[in-house]
């Protein structure tokens, strides 16, 4: 019932639990425990996809993470659709919907396959040589064509409906890979008492042992041994077991990225589960036990569906209980394939022959194959295959010493198994920046000197025999625990029996075939359609570094990142250049080991959780009043308070008028605040700010300007001297963290001798600005212990007392040009005090205003905003702040810089005001200013508009601008060029309202 190719028994599938699924719209059945690949194989389906470039039909090649061919789109709808899913890693669930990719109209018949016929014209890198004429045709014609041909699956067209989560974890020993070596390593480390994490990509622990039917360990079957080990680990509180979890990347300082798949195997995922969990693990020690990958053989037409890695075929038989075919030809240079042949034969698959490239294969496995009656052909190559959508026959030939092929014959088969040996999985080791070493005997790179607190165990460091692998795992686990400071592990041995262990042998590069090498297609990188001849072409064209070969041919750049192709490519380059492999090097391994969902990286960071939302204590009140908010960094600030039917323009006009006529209330809590305290506080302030602070008396405020080392204005703000040794510093909203870091930097690295402490108090104080001619009248009844009279509390003073019974630092200060106060109260009282002031202000029609009104009011007064008038290129004098620079001061940050000649030039951009001829015409901020509007581009530009508003109090638009030599141009007419016209503007002083400051001092 679950397919004609299902074996009657065996495998780790649950035959009681049939599962139905569809592939390309057709319904099939499999069992729980199947992967999509094994279930399709059970149904006799091997054709799984089309290749990237030539659209050749491709079958399932492997049984694991290294699969290059069998990629499908999976998902019931677009909000759950994932392209490029490896069938070999997709667990089967009821109702799974999969579709093949990169084909049209169907997988069986794909018109794109015409590329295969034209392939002689598309060698590696062909696109660098053509599509250049006519020039415009690249964008308009060739590129769109190429793009639509390229790509594999389709991106989903709807927003992902799933969630992802993230965790951080610390452990003493992280073991990566739960095969025999990893299990033994985890056990040893666990016994030491260390905190151990064990991660494995598969749904079950056991690795290669999941397909092991012969071996026994300590007298138990391999699978029972695995169960016992897992049970022992599970029983320990100091062990965390993570299955379906890939260690995808090795980052500096032993931080390892893991991705855990939680629901992709479930038909009906429970709502509480995220789809994936992303772990950042900080490990004391790491044991990499990632096993090895099997290498394909590179021979002509080695890509037909039915050509499969030998050990993968064995996994299908032993682990999944399915037959990948009926009659197999085996092509190998490696003993592992013999084991596969023996297991397949036992399962009833006919082994037509084993073609062994080695002239004298020997050893127990070879003998066993012969004893089982398998035809072993030494010194023999597969020189071609036939069949359209599935292999029908293979051509075998004896290979002479000179590489020539003799005695060709065709052998009928529906399966060709291949094995060129094993490649240790050194990906993570290499990512950790460990040095790789080429092992001549294995013909593979193995880990050399580690760069992190890391060790490799088992097959990933080139060990092959099961007994050696387990023993190594245990020893490395113990070693890791010891290095992490844990000892006391009882020595242990594992008795392995039933395996035929041998010196396995291997082969790298393209197998000899006696055919015209420049005509046949012998694939190296299956997915990207890179053939041996492409690689030779690259070397002929002068690409000698393996990195160049990779980039020119794209070998190793497919979604499998070269797991099956890199070593063979290296072998071919080595032969073509006649240089040894270590001389050619190896391409860099890059994370992730296998692809990881973007969503997992992003985790919960979406929508409102994308960034923290920072609000003031008064935010809730403003929201209730229907304020419109703007984002300023991560802050939400009330932008304006529209009344019914008002747009921003109308609201701002009303708010401005209220402040000028009576009183307004503004939430200034976002201003950065830093408490500068200590015996040397004044000295510190003198050095950080351009202004002089020594003579500022306690109880007074001063507007301070701060420069970067290079002399440019960095930040500004009003500072109150609370006591001889205490300053209440304010900064711009956006500048607060930068200013604190700047101060700390100097304090800690340059002036460590100063006794000064800095504390960020931004969150401590709510700041309520009450501004307007009636401001005093509003707050007077609420204030205790402070004389608010102009004599006792003039402009730019600060007093400590109470308001509404709450302690306050009351600033008399104005950013509007009106009589004004800024009430600092502890944040927890912020809203209550605000509401009390608002209630008291009712009699004066107190009006809440937002940042937009604040901007207009200050522009009317010519007050700058750092970051708007300044842009990192202005020194104080440029923006009219020359007066704030303490000329007599010995030193301050930036002093050396601003005395440079460059900054004394009269044609520097200086801040001025601009008035348009037409009062209602509001200039665009950022618009440019020129003397001659008729000149062609590139124009000689004199400056730009930095702030521009409609001023209702003046009945005229106003603008601030930075203009070259601006102060000498007062009265001149300049122009603002706009598309299709130029706006004349008059240069004026940058103060538009109450030039004498009468209101301010009221």
For residue 449, state whether it binds another protein (rule: CB under 8 A).
no
Binder to another protein among 8, 25, 105, 607 (CB under 8 A)? 607
Contacts of 179 (CB under 8 A, 6+ apart): 200, 206, 207, 208, 209, 289, 291, 458, 459, 469
- Tokens representing residue 127 in the block: 């696109």
Binding mask 847-886 for another protein (x = CB under 8 A): --------------------xx--xxx-------------
Q: Which stretch binds another protein (CB under 8 A): 252-260, 413-421, 486-494, 722-730?
A: 252-260
Residue number, 451 or 788, with CB nearest to another protein: 451
Binder to another protein among 26, 272, 449, 519 (CB under 8 A)? 519
Binder to another protein among 237, 598, 753, 906 (CB under 8 A)? 598
Asked whether the beta carbons of 565 and 545 are under 8 A apart, the reply is no
Contacts of 120 (CB under 8 A, 6+ apart): none
Q: Which of 309, 258, 912 lies closest to 601 in space, CA to CA?
A: 258
Q: Could you say which DSSP state residue 920 is in?
A: T
Q: Which stretch binds another protein (CB under 8 A): 3-11, 539-547, 687-695, 786-794?
A: 539-547
Binding mask 121-160 for another protein (x = CB under 8 A): x-x--xxxxxxxx-x--xx---xx-xxx-xxxxxxxxxxx
Show the beta-strand stretches assigned E in 432-570.
Answer: 436-439, 444-447, 454-456, 496-497, 523-525, 530-531
For residue 610, state whether it binds another protein (rule: CB under 8 A).
yes
Asked whether the beta carbons of 370 and 289 are under 8 A apart, the reply is no
Cα–Cα–Cα angle for 227, 230, 235, nearest 5°?
125
Residue 222 host element (H or E) = helix 222-234
Phi first, then psi: give them for residue 366, nearest 5 degrees: -60, -45
Binder to another protein among 938, 971, 996, 998 (CB under 8 A)? 938
Nearest approach, Cβ of residue 241 and another protein (Å): 23
Instruction: Please count the residues of this chain forming the interface with another protein, following the rule CB under 8 A.
Output: 117
Query: How far is residue 217 from each of residues 184, 499, 743, 832, measured CA to CA in Å?
Result: 12, 10, 65, 74
For residue 547, state whether it binds another protein (rule: CB under 8 A).
yes
For residue 748, state whether it binds another protein (rule: CB under 8 A).
no
Count of alpha carbons within 13 Å of 390, Cβ hemisphere only?
17
For residue 602, state whether it binds another protein (rule: CB under 8 A).
yes
For residue 710, state whether it binds another protein (rule: CB under 8 A).
yes
Asked whether the beta carbons of 395 and 383 are under 8 A apart, the reply is yes
Binder to another protein among 182, 249, 817, 841 (CB under 8 A)? 249
Residue number, 603 or 1002, with CB nearest to another protein: 603
Q: Which of 158, 164, 165, 166 lies closest to 75 in space, CA to CA?
A: 158
Binder to another protein among 43, 51, 69, 84 (CB under 8 A)? 84
Binder to another protein among 8, 219, 926, 955 (CB under 8 A)? 926
Helices 364-371 + 336-346 axis angle, to 10: 30
Asked whether the beta carbons of 906 and 974 are under 8 A apart, the reply is no
Binder to another protein among 324, 424, 711, 966 (CB under 8 A)? 711
Residue number, 52 or 727, with CB nearest to another protein: 52
Sign of the dihedral through C-alpha 187, 191, 192, 196:
positive
Sign of the dihedral through C-alpha 511, 513, 515, 520:
negative
**Binding positions for another protein, 36-55, rule CB under 8 A:** 52
Binder to another protein among 170, 540, 579, 679 (CB under 8 A)? 540
For residue 980, state whether it binds another protein (rule: CB under 8 A).
no
Query: How far is residue 647 from each of residues 70, 659, 957, measured CA to CA in Å?
Result: 58, 19, 18
**Binding positions for another protein, 103-122, rule CB under 8 A:** 120-121
Residue number, 249 or 817, with CB nearest to another protein: 249
Binder to another protein among 224, 362, 580, 611 (CB under 8 A)? 611
Binder to another protein among 8, 25, 105, 252 (CB under 8 A)? 252
For residue 578, state whether it binds another protein (rule: CB under 8 A).
no
Q: Which stretch binds another protein (CB under 8 A): 33-41, 591-599, 838-846, 877-885?
A: 591-599
Residue number, 445 or 552, with CB nearest to another protein: 552
Binder to another protein among 198, 211, 596, 893 (CB under 8 A)? 596
Nearest approach, Cβ of residue 930 and another protein (Å): 7
Binder to another protein among 22, 106, 545, 748 (CB under 8 A)? 545
Residue number, 614 or 802, with CB nearest to another protein: 614
For residue 745, state whether it binds another protein (rule: CB under 8 A).
no
Say how many residues make up the chain.
1002
For residue 686, state whether it binds another protein (rule: CB under 8 A).
no
Binder to another protein among 750, 755, 924, 989 (CB under 8 A)? 924
Q: Which of 624, 715, 614 lies closest to 674 in space, CA to CA?
A: 715
DSSP string, 379-423: TEEEEEEE-SSS--EEEEEEE-TTS-EEEEEEEE-SEEEEE--EE
Nearest approach, Cβ of residue 602 and another protein (Å): 4
Binding mask 166-205 for another protein (x = CB under 8 A): ----------------------------------------
For residue 955, state whether it binds another protein (rule: CB under 8 A).
no
Q: Could you say which DSSP state residue 105 is in?
A: B
Q: Which stretch binds another protein (CB under 8 A): 383-391, 393-401, 402-410, 929-937?
A: 929-937
Nearest approach, Cβ of residue 710 and another protein (Å): 7
**What CA–CA distance (Å, rounded) separates 953 from 518?**
84
Binder to another protein among 927, 963, 974, 1000 (CB under 8 A)? 927
For residue 903, state whether it binds another protein (rule: CB under 8 A).
yes
**Binding positions for another protein, 56-75, rule CB under 8 A:** 75
DSSP string, 244-307: SEEEEEEETTTEEEEEEE-STT-SS--TT--SEEEEEEEEEEEEE---EEEPPPB-BTTTSTTE
Nearest approach, Cβ of residue 534 and another protein (Å): 9
**Binding positions for another protein, 258-287, rule CB under 8 A:** 278, 280
Binder to another protein among 221, 255, 615, 761 (CB under 8 A)? 255
Residue number, 129 or 272, with CB nearest to another protein: 129
**What CA–CA distance (Å, rounded) separates 798 from 699?**
5
Asked whether the beta carbons of 589 and 426 are under 8 A apart, the reply is yes
**What CA–CA distance (Å, rounded) separates 721 from 798?**
8
Nearest approach, Cβ of residue 76 and another protein (Å): 13
Q: Which of 188, 194, 273, 182 lies closest to 237 in space, CA to CA?
A: 194
Q: In what order do the strands lie in the sheet with 713-723?
A: 701-707, 713-723, 726-731, 672-677, 757-760
Binder to another protein among 683, 928, 968, 993 (CB under 8 A)? 928
Query: How far is residue 598 from each of residues 278, 499, 504, 603, measured CA to CA in Å?
Result: 10, 42, 40, 9
Q: Which stretch binds another protein (CB under 8 A): 1-9, 657-665, 882-890, 934-942?
A: 934-942
For residue 407, state whether it binds another protein (rule: CB under 8 A).
no
Residue with tokens 């992280």: 174
Binding mask 461-500 for another protein (x = CB under 8 A): ----------------------------------------
For residue 839, state whether it binds another protein (rule: CB under 8 A).
no
Whether cis (ω within 30° of 0) applies to the bond prior to 460 is no
**What CA–CA distance (Å, rounded) separates 830 from 833?**
5
Binder to another protein among 591, 678, 965, 1002 (CB under 8 A)? 591
Q: Could you say which DSSP state residue 199 is in?
A: E
């Amino acid at each position: 019932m679950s397919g004609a190719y299902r074996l009657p028994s065996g495998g780790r599938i649950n035959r009681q639990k049939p599962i139905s699924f569809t592939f390309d719209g057709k319904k099939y059945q499999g069992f729980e425990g199947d992967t999509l690949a094994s279930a399709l194989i059970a149904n006799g389906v091997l054709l799984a996809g089309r290749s990237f470039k030539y659209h050749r039909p491709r079958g399932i090649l492997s049984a694991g993470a290294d699969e290059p061919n069998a990629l499908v789109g999976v998902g019931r709808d677009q909000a759950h659709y994932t392209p490029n899913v490896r069938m070999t890693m997709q667990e089967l669930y009821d109702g799974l919907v999969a579709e093949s990719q990169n084909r049209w109209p169907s997988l069986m018949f794909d018109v794109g396959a015409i590329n295969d016929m034209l392939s002689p014209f598309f060698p590696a890198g062909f696109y660098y040589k053509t599509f250049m004429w006519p020039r415009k045709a690249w964008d308009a014609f060739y590129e769109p064509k190429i793009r639509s041909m390229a790509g594999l699956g389709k991106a989903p067209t709807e927003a992902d409906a799933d969630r992802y989560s993230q965790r951080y974890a610390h452990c003493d020993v992280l073991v990566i890979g739960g095969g025999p070596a990893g299990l033994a390593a985890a056990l040893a480390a666990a016994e030491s008492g260390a905190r151990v994490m064990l991660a494995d990509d598969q749904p079950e622990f056991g690795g290669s042992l999941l397909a092991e039917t012969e071996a026994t360990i300590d007298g138990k079957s391999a699978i029972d041994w695995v169960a016992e080990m897992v049970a022992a680990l599970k029983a320990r509180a100091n062990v965390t077991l993570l299955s379906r979890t890939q260690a995808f990347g090795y980052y500096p300082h032993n931080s390892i990225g893991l991705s855990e798949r939680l629901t992709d195997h479930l038909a009906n995922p429970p709502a509480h589960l995220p789809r994936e969990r992303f772990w950042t693990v900080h490990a004391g020690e790491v044991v990499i036990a990632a096993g090895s990958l099997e290498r394909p053989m590179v021979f002509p037409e080695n890509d037909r569906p039915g050509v499969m890695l030998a050990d993968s075929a064995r996994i299908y038989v032993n682990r999944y209980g399915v037959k990948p075919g009926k009659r197999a030809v085996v092509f190998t240079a490696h003993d592992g394939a013999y084991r596969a042949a023996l297991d397949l034969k036992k399962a009833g698959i006919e082994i037509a022959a084993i073609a062994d490239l080695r002239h004298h294969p020997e050893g127990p496995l070879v003998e066993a194959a012969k004893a089982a009656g398998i035809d072993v052909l030494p010194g023999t190559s597969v020189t071609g295959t036939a069949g359209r959508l599935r292999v029908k026959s293979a051509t075998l030939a004896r290979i002479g010493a000179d590489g020539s092929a003799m005695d060709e014959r065709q052998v009928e088969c529906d399966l060709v198994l291949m094995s060129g040996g094993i490649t240790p999985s050194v990906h993570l080791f290499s990512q950790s920046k460990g040095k790789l070493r080429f092992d001549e005997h294995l013909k593979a790179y193995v880990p050399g000197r580690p760069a992190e607190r890391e060790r490799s165990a088992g097959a990933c460091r080139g060990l092959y025999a099961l007994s050696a692998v387990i023993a190594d795992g245990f020893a490395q686990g113990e070693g890791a625990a010891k290095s992490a400071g844990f000892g006391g592990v009882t020595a242990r041995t594992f008795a392995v029996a039933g395996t035929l262990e041998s010196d396995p042998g291997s082969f790298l590069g393209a197998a000899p075939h006696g055919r015209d090498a420049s005509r046949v297609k012998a694939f190296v990188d299956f997915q990207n359609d890179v053939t041996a001849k492409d690689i030779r072409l690259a070397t002929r064209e002068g690409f000698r570094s393996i990195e160049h070969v990779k980039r020119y041919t794209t070998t190793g750049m497919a979604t499998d990142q070269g797991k099956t192709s890199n070593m063979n490519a290296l072998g071919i380059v080595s032969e073509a250049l006649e240089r040894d492999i270590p001389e050619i090097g190896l391409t860099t391994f890059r994370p992730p080991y296998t692809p990881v969902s973007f969503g997992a990286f992003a985790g919960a960071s979406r929508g409102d959780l994308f960034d923290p939302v920072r609000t003031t204590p008064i935010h809730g009140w403003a929201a209730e009043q229907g304020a419109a908010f703007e984002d300023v960094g991560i802050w939400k600030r009330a932008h304006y308070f529209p009344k019914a039917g008002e747009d921003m323009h109308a609201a701002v006009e009303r708010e401005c008028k209220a402040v000028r006529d009576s009183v307004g209330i503004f939430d200034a809590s976002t201003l950065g605040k830093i408490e500068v305290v200590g015996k040397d506080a004044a000295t510190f302030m003198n050095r950080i700010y351009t202004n002089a602070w020594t003579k500022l008396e306690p109880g007074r405020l001063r507007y301070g300007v701060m420069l970067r080392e290079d002399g440019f204005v960095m930040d500004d703000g009003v500072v109150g001297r609370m006591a001889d040794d205490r300053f209440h510093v304010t900064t711009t909203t956006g500048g607060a963290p930068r200013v604190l870091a700047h101060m700390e930097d100097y304090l800690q690295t340059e002036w460590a001798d100063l006794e000064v402490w800095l504390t960020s108090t931004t969150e401590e104080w709510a700041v309520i600005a009450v501004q307007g001619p009636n401001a005093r009248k509003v707050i007077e009844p609420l204030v205790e212990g402070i004389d608010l009279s102009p004599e006792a509390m003039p402009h730019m003073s600060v007093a400590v007392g109470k308001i509404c019974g709450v302690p306050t630092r009351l600033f008399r200060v104005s950013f509007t040009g009106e009589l004004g106060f800024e009430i600092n109260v502890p944040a927890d009282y912020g809203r209550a005090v605000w509401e009390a002031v608002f209630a008291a202000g009712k009699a004066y029609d107190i009006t809440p205003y937002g940042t937009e009104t604040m901007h207009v009011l200050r522009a009317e007064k010519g007050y700058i905003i750092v970051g708007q008038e300044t842009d990192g290129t202005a020194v104080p004098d440029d923006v009219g702040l020359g007066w704030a620079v303490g000329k007599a001061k010995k030193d301050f940050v930036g002093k050396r810089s601003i005395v440079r000649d460059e900054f004394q030039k009269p044609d520097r951009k200086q801040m001025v005001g601009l008035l348009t001829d037409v009062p209602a015409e509001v200039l665009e901020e950022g618009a440019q200013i020129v003397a001659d509007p008729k000149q062609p581009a590139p124009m000689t530009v004199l400056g730009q508009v930095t702030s521009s508003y409609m001023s209702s109090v003046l009945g005229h638009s106003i603008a601030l601008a930075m203009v070259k030599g601006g102060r000498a141009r007062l009265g001149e007419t300049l122009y603002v060029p706009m598309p299709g016209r130029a706006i004349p503007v008059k240069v004026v002083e940058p103060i538009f309202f109450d030039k004498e400051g009468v209101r301010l001092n009221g």
